[in-house]
Chains A and B, each alone.
Chain A
Amino acid sequence: MAALFDRLSFYFSYPTLQYALIAGVLIALCASLLGVTLVLKRYSFIGDGLSHVAFGAVAAASVLQLSNNMLLVLPVTILVAIFLLCARQGARIKGDAAIAMLSVGALGIGYLLMHVFGTSSNLAGDVCTTLFGSTSILTLTRTDVWICVVMSASVIVVYLLFYHKIFAVTFDETFAHATGIRSNIYKLVLAVVTAVIIVLAMRLVGSLLISALIIFPALSAMRLFGSFRAVVLCSGAISIGCALLGILASVLWASPMGATIVCVDIAVFGMCTFLGWVHRARG
């Protein structure tokens, strides 16, 4: 045990790992907070859809050889998020079809762009990094971490300030609207914040695994608790715990960080389902 701690403290004397830990935990927390609303609003797939769009944008940015691809990726993802979440009820193409269409479309175009115009000699490696995050979290610079901290903090502040309104809009949009809450504005806020989280989380787990950070903690918490506040708090706690465990495990066993975090999330979901089942069986 002591040897394990020695090894860990040795590894974490490197700033890259410290950065990864800070960024990973913050991103996981933000994703899980939003996840509760997204899951309940039946938007579980939005994470998938938007992250594929972000992948397409990353590909486009690398083809255009932008020095900082955030400048392109963030606005594009925010626009698509607004389009998906705020699409009017009577839209020609319904929600799930629109998400599916955009996500595979962006994935296809993104890969094609990287393949045709790519300048890198290691195409497979680049694609794999973008899709699964693999090592990119270990290449974070000090500035990246600061950006991540500031953005996560603003997401958390926005969430806390609008918490009661978010609950009202999630539970019963018509009533919320009737009592004068401009639910469209909150949908817009939700869309923008979701897009920000997804662009941040791409560095951590890559664009294919982002959905896991969004949905698993929320679903796990819902197995255990019956009130909205308890679910939000528990979801955040589960997500932080899973991110910490996942990052530590991936460091110790040199496994891919994103995939390890997701596996820990799945294990916790299994445990919560079991606990919830036991609780209900007991009455």
Chain B
Amino acid sequence: MAQITCRSLALGYDGKRIAENINFTVQAGDYLCIVGENGSGKSTLIKTILRLIPPAAGSIQQGDGLRPKEIGYLPQQMAVQRDFPAAVGEIVLSGCLNRCGLRPFYNREEKALAAANMERLGISHLARKRYRELSGGQQQRVLLARALCATRKLLLLDEPVAGLDPAAAEEMYHIIEKLNREDGISVLMVTHDIEAALQYAGSVLHIGAQGQAFYGPAAKYLLWRSADGSSI
């Protein structure tokens, strides 16, 4: 049983369909990149996988012990207002909320998990810093640590390097690769960066104007691209 199985999934909202017939699976330990032009429905796919909006048709199934709310989600760089008071430690800990249920406070185990994830991403020394004072790369690592608190199995990353300088982007890719290789966390990444997708990903899903255009191993994606004649 795969962690995520999409069958003839159609995306859309308010009765409008923007992409159709999407089929893919994510097995434990997979690294899948989702690429495609702006407006092709990548963000909508993410929201659908997170169950923030219902699928227009078809189905998304979760299996292999992945519980419905156990996806670690890294949102696109968000415009947090300048003076928002939030310390790094508070943000990372908030990733544990899906373990709390109705319990109003965090237990020792969850606090330890947050500390461990900060250690893992090398941001322990920033725990008491204000989020807004960090650099772009540090901010992304904070949000990644939060995502890791929410899951042990699957990360869903939305443009994780958008807005980062090349060095920070490179570092981010290395962290993600390490999480995938060493800790066996499946990665589902939406990106514009085709070069990186080919370098790191095991498989690629290309969403075109009509819906799914390519789904297969990263090695075959280049061949398909040149045969298809499309250029980005």
Contact = CB atoms under 8 A, between A and B. Distances in A.
A179 B97 contact: yes
Given A168-B97, A172-B78, A228-B86, A180 B91 contact: no
Interface in B4-30: 14
B68 interface: yes
Interface stretch (A19-27, A49-57, A159-167): A159-167
A171 B150 contact: no
Contacts of B81: 40
Interface in B128-164: 128-130, 133, 146, 150
Given A164-B94, A164-B106, A172-B75, A178 B69 contact: yes
A250 B85 CA distance: 33
A165 B106 CA distance: 11
A176 to B, nearest CB: 7
Given A174-B52, A180-B69, A225 B94 contact: no
Interface residues of B, number: 35
A226 B85 contact: yes
A178 B90 contact: no
B97 A176 contact: yes
B29 to A, nearest CB: 22
Given A175-B146, A178-B50, A226 B71 contact: no
Contacts, number: 83
A40 B71 contact: no
Interface in B97-118: 97-98, 100, 104-106
Interface in B62-95: 68-69, 71, 73, 75, 78, 80-81, 83-87, 89-91, 93-95
A231 interface: yes
A153 interface: no
A181 B98 contact: yes
A205 B104 CA distance: 33
Contacts of A177: 50, 52
B151 to A, nearest CB: 9
A163 B100 CA distance: 13
Interface of B: 14, 50-52, 68-69, 71, 73, 75, 78, 80-81, 83-87, 89-91, 93-95, 97-98, 100, 104-106, 128-130, 133, 146, 150
17 contacts: A40-B84, A163-B104, A164-B94, A164-B97, A164-B100, A164-B104, A164-B105, A167-B94, A168-B97, A175-B146, A177-B52, A179-B73, A179-B97, A180-B68, A180-B69, A228-B85, A230-B85
Interface of A: 40, 90, 160-165, 167-168, 171-172, 174-181, 221-222, 225-231
Which 10 pairs, one residue from A and one from B, show the smallest C-beta to C-beta distance?
A180-B69, A226-B130, A227-B87, A179-B98, A231-B85, A178-B50, A161-B104, A168-B94, A178-B73, A180-B98
Given A161-B104, A174-B73, 12 more contacts: A164-B105, A167-B94, A168-B97, A171-B94, A172-B78, A178-B51, A178-B52, A178-B69, A178-B73, A181-B98, A226-B85, A228-B90
